[in-house]
Chain A
């Protein structure tokens, strides 16, 4: 009988709401938009931060990356032919090796070289590095193998190329064991790398920029290309002398969940570079710091989104309360009748509370559907990643029930506390 009573109260609530269909529908809109914006904003926000955090994590949150940057040009100097010397050095590398938390250290040198296969020419990033590169950076081999210790020791003419480049240079053949020409030398392809960003299915069109990199043994790079790079720019020849473009330092962390040594290593590297470099021709990138910053940004973003959604839900709730107050007034006589026929105060409270909750949950459920549809279309048409966490619709449903109860209590309380005699006399 108790179950029957609840079912009957809900049915009665729906019946009463159906007396004013348009009004009830308009009333649910506030909660509907509030709830759908909660879900949509959470999904878009979550998607954006997942994307950002993924990018950072790909850099390796256990790594500290030192990069060479070209210092601002000295305008007073002779414009024609000159040598600009900057960047990281082998000595920097040696010094870092002595730091207590240093794990594997990977030097990278970048070359300004064209690559060719037949009449296909590309200008990708050509880098000389050591065999540890693949593990420290967490890149993944698509086919073949990475550069080996033996390649490095004997400065072999071998290379590993990015998947994009492989697809461009060897559209119809297996790239492994093919030869490509870097500068004046021929290199054998021993492996390909999975791309950093997901590829579209269309192969690159001629003339389109092909991203990706070509990796060769560092010793081989030193052997054939030296430290000097020549850049030809707007008529003037410019020579750059850079020993190392990048040093990737893997930090030993006893507890990866609670990294303590990465900040220490970063500080030590910054300190060392400041001491030994006469100019600021370096930067220290700490993915972990970026990650923490991204998480902090996400937290603030969530607070802002939450506040906006909260305000729209508040407005929706007030709208419902307003309508329920009007409903209670309108149905004063009904309340009087029910009280005269034996309804206790709590029966009246429950009746109006159920009605408010039906309104807000109705709005909530429609809002959840709309809120799930929005991220779908955003992903489809704006090509943004969205992530709907399973908790979001549950949370939204809970919120709409809570709104019904919170904003329904006062009107219901007003209804229950009417004097039956007065209520019966109400016209």
Chain B
């Protein structure tokens, strides 16, 4: 499988090998992730599902380089995460990862446009047309007349659209969404999921943690986690 990944036609954006994440609580050891091996390929749309506490968020944090595996190897864009220092991890996040959170996580003192541009602030060579790109993304999210609004002046659905725009601004290798619709009503959830579908059709790679069975139907791959292990991987339309 590893050979296929490196030699195959479909490039692997993220590759996990026997990844473990242990938490030590006194004498107890919590195995949040317990030997995960999986490849995520460009253009795929994954739903990551499982019971509460099964390790979904932990997996996403490691994929997003805000957390490191206790053991095992993780390669993102061909770089070994275990060999990167804190600054290099930040660079990977800023250049190759798009985050969408359950609680939107916009910065309250910045307006909509500034929020979308935050990831570019921290790049060593931010693009010249940063603002034009942010405006375009805001337009795409249907927020062009709200550019100078603060997050708290927006509805939940609008805030999540800003967050999605922000996750796209650095043209990431993949978008990580942890229960992105968890705080939204069913109508807004539907709209946001529509948006992700659209992004998927455009070729974006999406890894989404969710409790919504509906997402499983939309995604190409569904990974079920149980006690930090991969319980099963279903591929829609095809057999694994």
Q: A residues engaging B (CB < 8 A)? A: 1, 5, 8, 12, 15-16, 18-19, 333-334, 336-345, 347, 420-421, 424
Contacts and interface: CB of A to CB of B under 8 A. Distances in A.
Nearest to A17: B109
A340 B122 contact: no
- Smallest CB-CB A-B distances: 4 pairs: A342-B94, A342-B122, A420-B66, A344-B90
Contacts of B99: 340-341
Interface string B86-118: 110011011100010100011111100000001
Contact of A341 (B61, B87, B93): B93
A340 B66 contact: yes
A67 B82 CA distance: 89
Contacts of B182: none
Given A1-B126, A341-B93, A343-B94, 12 more contacts: A8-B121, A334-B107, A337-B107, A340-B93, A342-B90, A342-B91, A343-B90, A343-B122, A344-B90, A345-B87, A421-B61, A421-B67
B109 A342 contact: no
Contact of A15 (B86, B109, B126): B109
17 contacts: A340-B66, A340-B93, A340-B99, A341-B94, A341-B99, A341-B118, A342-B91, A342-B93, A342-B170, A343-B122, A344-B87, A345-B87, A347-B121, A421-B61, A421-B66, A421-B67, A424-B105
Given A5-B121, A421-B66, A342 B105 contact: no
Contacts, number: 68
Interface of B: 61, 64, 66-67, 86-87, 90-91, 93-95, 99, 101, 105-110, 118-119, 121-123, 126, 166, 170
Contacts of B67: 420-421
A337 B121 CA distance: 13
Nearest to B105: A337
Nearest to B101: A424
A342 B119 contact: yes
A344 B121 CA distance: 11
A138 B17 CA distance: 95
Contacts of A424: 66, 101, 105
A19 B110 CA distance: 11
B215 to A, nearest CB: 22
Contact of B86 (A12, A338, A341, A345): A345
**A interface secondary structure, majority:** helix
A288 to B, nearest CB: 63
A344 B109 contact: no
A334 to B, nearest CB: 6
B95 A342 contact: yes
Nearest to A345: B86
A340 B121 contact: no
Nearest to B66: A420
A16 B114 CA distance: 14
B105 A333 contact: yes
Contacts of A18: 109
B102 to A, nearest CB: 10
A331 to B, nearest CB: 9
A338 B66 contact: no
A342 B87 contact: no
B90 A12 contact: no
Chain B CB within 10 Å, residue with most, of A341, A344, A347? A341
A424 B87 CA distance: 18
Contacts of A1: 126
Nearest to B166: A341
Nearest to B125: A1
A7 to B, nearest CB: 12
Contacts of B86: 344-345
B122 A341 contact: yes
A16 B109 contact: yes
Nearest to A346: B87
Contacts of A344: 86-87, 90-91, 122
A288 B87 CA distance: 64
A12 to B, nearest CB: 7
A170 B49 CA distance: 110
B90 A339 contact: yes
